[in-house]
Structure 1
Amino acid sequence: MTSASTVPVSRVPARLARFVLRMFRPHVYVTYGLLWTLSLESSAVSLTGTPWRPSGATWARVTSVVLALLFLRMLDEQKDLEYDRVHHPDRPLVTGAITAGELRAGMAVSTAVVICLNAALSPAAVLLVLAALGYGLLLAAVERLSAPVRDRQLLGLAAACPVQVLLGCYVYGSLAAAGTVTADWRGAVLLALSACVFLHFEFARKTAWQAPPGERLYSVVLGPRRSAAVTAAFAAGAVVCQIVLFLPYGPAGLLPCLIAALPAWGLRRFSAARRGCWPMPAAAGFVAGTHLALTVRAAVLP
């Protein structure tokens, strides 16, 4: 394993870039951050009756969310080191392709860029995005000290969910701080919608009929059928949130709900197969399709 002291400073950016390409996968994480931020902002604005169009502030929020996701991914790589040594020995931090010090340097740079971007928006935007990053650091400390949070999957998920909610609060709160929207109950429903979409994918990727020994799957804890039911229930929750928000605007506003056909198909296929895992193209399609459809709805419909 390469030690931090033997790595020339000039090589650190290239090592970080290789880590990002392998473990952050821009076509996945950047796409998710982009679509999620656009759907949340556009939906919040459209609910005020104001036409939505992306602005410079929109791209500052998108960049901030993507960098926050990168910050959290670098943090996860460090806190999962002991587990990865056993179950994922090819991970960059395990093999020495990257060091903890280099990851912390990348986190520091990401934080600095996020602060600069949001300082141009409002002090509230800076505080809100730092709250999400700070909670991630707090959670890492809690996991080191608390075996139940570290080892019990559902408890760990419950402890980690506020990070997602806080990032959503950053997007919505920065809009409210700018006077673009007036914060009300619909903001809470929008955040619940985003959380349901995220949790559908989170449960889908960890639901299978069988699991290798020691693998952290929700289906190991709940059983395959109940884990699949929870996965489908989160998709249904996202649809309910859309109905609550957009039904008053007419049937056309509910067109994004049609994307729920994907998790319905995924549940049927998983249940019928009785082997393998939840079909991930359906889960990924639901996430991308829902966020994209909500953005298009806000841009096209009055």
Structure 2
Amino acid sequence: MSTVVLPRVPVRLGRFVLCMFRPHVYVTYGVLWVFALEGSAVALSGGAWRPTAATAVRAACVVLVLLFLRMLDEQKDLAHDRVHHPDRPLVTGAITVPELRGAMTVITVVVAGLNAALSPVAVLLILLPPAYALVLPALEAASAAVRERPLLNLAVTYPVQVLLGGYVCLTAAGSGTASADWRAVPLLALCAGVFLHFEFARKTAWESAPDDRLYSSVLGPAGSAAVALALVAGAVVCDVLLFRPTTVPGLLPCLPALLPAVAARRFLTARHGRWPLAPAMGYVVLTHLALVLQAVFPP
């Protein structure tokens, strides 16, 4: 039975975070995502966006919930990792299940407390994503299809991201800094297209092993690449629908779409290896950054 040695927990959790929740990746994504969503919602309401203390609360809580999800995934995938990823911290004993669950409890209390300063509705909204995520391990244990089919698994797990995005948009609207109307849907769809492009890109390859759980294993390399590009196209359509750009600065959030186009050409021409990951990561960062700049300096 695993035990928790309290004096060692902060160091062990710190090592886990640096290994499995690389701050320069996850924190950067979480903060830019919140800024892009909130800023775009304000810009669509006719104002120039400026971050506030409430913005900092939203960004911190989204990052903490993403960490909560990462910790939950490590426990959910433990049996698979024992066979296929024996170097993972939970498998090696660098961290234990009780330690992760204790940290998850602390995260839940912290995000609830931070949002209590915003509103009771904000508390409910920030607790919905981890609550939904806690149901997923039981669902995957009960359903081999959900567990083994990558596309079905994505359809079941992705709503956590939708709930987090909804938290940002709805709390921004509740504070009066942005309007709550139909435009929140294509705005969330825009960010979903950007994120899901990266998700498909990192799981698209010409060759695969049985334990890789790639989308290209189901759709074929060309089919998976087509979906990755379609998601980018969908994001561009949402951007044009929302902002109706008529100037070069207004087109700024669309320009990063050139990166996936170049990556797709390289991948489809090579006919071996994996989808280039650097352009996919660059697309996520640059699109969100462009949305933030557009919100701060509206055309």
Q: Output the TM-score relative to the length of structure 1.
A: 0.97
What is the alpha-carbon root mean square deviation over aligned residues?
A: 1.1
Moved over 4 A (4+): 248-251
Letter of the structure 2 residue corresponding to residue 93 of structure 1: L
Matched, 1:236 2:233: yes
Matched, 1:293 2:290: yes
Cα pair 1:189 1:241 within 8 Å, conserved: yes
How far apart are 1:100 and its partner, in Å? Answer: 0.7
Cα pair 2:41 2:179 within 8 Å, conserved: no
Q: Counterpart in 1 of 2:112?
A: 115
- Give deviations 1:62-113, integer Å, cap 9, x for gaps: 0000000000000000000111111111001111111111110111111111
How far apart are 1:177 and its partner, in Å? Answer: 1.4
Cα pair 1:45 1:181 within 8 Å, conserved: yes
How far apart are 1:225 and its partner, in Å? Answer: 0.5
Cα 1:195–1:59 shift into 2, 3 Å: same
Letter of the structure 1 residue corresponding to residue 278 of structure 2: P
SS in structure 1 at match of 2:206: coil
How far apart are 1:144 and its partner, in Å? Answer: 1.7
Cα pair 1:124 1:173 within 8 Å, conserved: no
Q: Counterpart in 1 of 2:219?
A: 222
How far apart are 1:252 and its partner, in Å? Answer: 2.9
Q: Distance in 1 between matches of 2:99 and 2:35?
A: 31
Deviates more, 1:65-74 or 1:108-117: 108-117
Q: Distance in 1 between matches of 2:46 and 2:161?
A: 27
% identical aligned pairs: 63
How far apart are 1:251 and its partner, in Å? Answer: 5.0
Gaps of 5+ in 2: none
Q: Counterpart in 2 of 1:253?
A: 250
- Give deviations 1:123-165, integer Å, cap 9, x for gaps: 1111111111111111222112211111111100000110010
Q: Distance in 1 between matches of 2:171 and 2:9?
A: 33
Of residues 32, 45, 53, the one that matches 1:48 is 45
Aligned counterparts, 1:132-147, within 5 A:
132-147=129-144
Q: Distance in 2 between matches of 1:190 and 1:200?
A: 16
Q: Distance in 2 between matches of 1:138 and 1:259?
A: 36
Q: Output the TM-score relative to the length of structure 2.
A: 0.97
Gaps of 5+ in 1: none
Q: Counterpart in 2 of 1:88?
A: 85
